[in-house]
Structure 1
Amino acid sequence: MKRLVLLYGIVSVLSLSAIPARAQWAVFDGANFGQNVLQAARALQQIDNQIASLANQAQMLVNQAKNLASLPLSTLSTLQSTISQTMALLTQAQNIAYSVHSVEQQYQQAYTSISSGMSDSALFSQAQTRWRNAVGGFEDALKTQAQVVGNIPSDSSAMTQLVSASQSSSGALQAAQAGNQFLALQSRQLSDVIAVLSANGRAADLQQAREAAAEAEGQAQYEHFAQHDAYVPGAVSVFNDGN
């Protein structure tokens, strides 16, 4: 802007001082010179505008680079590790696995196949199986609970890191990635809750099934006892009197 004012001043002075020359010397055309100066001023203004436009474009590219910068923090591997540990506990369920086929097969064998035609040893063997299943179910539930509680410190650390990374994010992509990792952490915690509820429900169901089977077993044992001949009193010789 200062250069433009200076150029306009020069043009004004030259225009006022331009006097027609009639001698043999070269004639100085002040009006033409002033027009040239004005054209140069306009060209200079265009250059200044272009420089400002390029500066704005450069700043836009810088902002885009910030928005496209990835978050320098990832908790995905930690989340995957804890999920794998919880899943390993569930797959190690004792006696009756978390499988529809396994439940159908083993439940039929140990809980619903009790009949009065079974021997006492067979009834006792099935009772032992049901007892082991119930104890194993409670043990599996306690292990799952311990695993989930053990995840709390790592979850707290991951949450602190994500909050710090989100607050110091330099662009939209980093903020979005931090939000996505928050959602992944919440999903993992929800999986832990489902695992605990499943383990506790399994243990409770096994115990209830054991109690129901015990009633059927008692009925079968009573029928066994009722099938024996009633006691008939008879004469018993206590002392041999020789007669």
Structure 2
Amino acid sequence: MRRVLLLCSIFGVFSLSAIPARAQWAVFDGANFGQNVLQAARALQQIDNQISSLANQAQMLVNQAKNLATLPLSRLSTLQSTISQTTALLTQAQNIAYSVQSVEQQYQQAYTSISSGMSDSALFSQAQTRWRNAVGGFEDALKIQAQVVGNIPSDSSAMTQLVSASQSSAGALQAAQAGNQLLALQSRQLSDVIAVLSANGRAQELQQAREAAEEADGQAQYQHFAQHDAYAPTVITMFGPSGN
């Protein structure tokens, strides 16, 4: 009987040890959780920094694109056209062109070659040439003045457009291009002033040279007249030798 009870007790112990435990308690590790949260925050900060860096790079590219954008407005062709028109008028100068060789040759022929040995017809022909040169010089000056005055409205419009484009430019290149075109406009206007001064000076110099040549022409005519024999009075018989 005792053996039976002992065996039963041993079997019962083995039976109880063979039954698995169904209930367990979960253990919370606070230190590990804090480290995980800190690592996640650091990773999030790195991502935010990368996003900010990419945004700055994108803005830099946008600014570079603005700085490299060309100005949509250009008045250079108009400026070149007006310069060509003024230059064409200067090349059409009458009689004495704007050329050093031409001035030397024609001035020598019409203004400094006057002598008493020239015939009256030659002196008259030279006087006519000098008169035509003076009149043509004044006409050329008037044409140049009319051309320059006619450029004022287009210059005013171009200046307004270029200043507006410069003030509203998207980048440095557009502002620089607008400034360059304004400088080109000022250079064109300066060339107009030089053309007017040159034409007016040419006309005045031709007139003064004509006046100086007229004095030399008058002296040559006087010397030419003085070379003839003086007048000698003679007796003229009007009613025949009988005196009736």
Q: TM-score w.r.t. structure 1 length?
A: 0.86
Shift of 1:72: 0.9
**Alignment correspondent of 1:117:** 117
Q: For 2:176 and 2:62, locate their aligned partners in 1 and report how far apart those are by CA, in whole Å.
A: 19
SS in 2 for 1:212: helix
SS in 2 for 1:79: helix
**Alignment correspondent of 1:126:** 126
**Alignment correspondent of 2:183:** 183
**Alignment correspondent of 1:79:** 79
Q: For 1:225 and 1:41, locate their aligned partners in 2 and report how far apart those are by CA, in whole Å.
A: 120
Report Cα offsets for 1:188-213 as digits up to 9, x if no partner: 00100000000000000000000001
**Alignment correspondent of 1:37:** 37
Q: For 1:227 and 1:61, locate their aligned partners in 2 and report how far apart those are by CA, in whole Å.
A: 94
Q: For 2:74 and 2:239, locate their aligned partners in 1 and report how far apart those are by CA, in whole Å.
A: 94
Report Cα offsets for 1:87-137 as digits up to 9, x if no partner: 000010000000100000000000000001111111111111101100000
Shift of 1:28: 5.8
Structure-to-structure mapping, 1:3-18, within 5 angstroms: none
**Alignment correspondent of 2:223:** 223
What residue identity is the alignment partner of 2:51? I
Shift of 1:24: 6.9
Q: For 1:41 and 1:118, locate their aligned partners in 2 and report how far apart those are by CA, in whole Å.
A: 112
Report Cα offsets for 1:1-27 as digits up to 9, x if no partner: xxxxxxxxxxxxxxxxxxxxxx97786
**Alignment correspondent of 1:104:** 104
Shift of 1:40: 2.1
Count the aligned residue pairs. Answer: 221
**Alignment correspondent of 2:67:** 67
**Alignment correspondent of 1:163:** 163
Query: After alignment, is 150-159 or 232-241 more displaced?
Result: 232-241
Report Cα offsets for 1:37-90 as digits up to 9, x if no partner: 321221111011110111111111111211111111011001000000000000
Q: For 1:74 and 1:214, locate their aligned partners in 2 and report how far apart those are by CA, in whole Å.
A: 53
Report the aligned-residue RMSD.
Answer: 1.7
Q: For 2:239 and 2:186, locate their aligned partners in 1 and report how far apart those are by CA, in whole Å.
A: 86
Q: For 1:174 and 1:58, locate their aligned partners in 2 and report how far apart those are by CA, in whole Å.
A: 21
Give the fraction of aligned pairs with identical amino acids, expressed as a percent: 90
Query: After alignment, is 38-47 or 127-136 more displaced?
Result: 38-47
What runs of 5+ residues in structure 1 fail to find an aligned partner? 1-22
Give the greater-gyration-radius structure (CA): 2
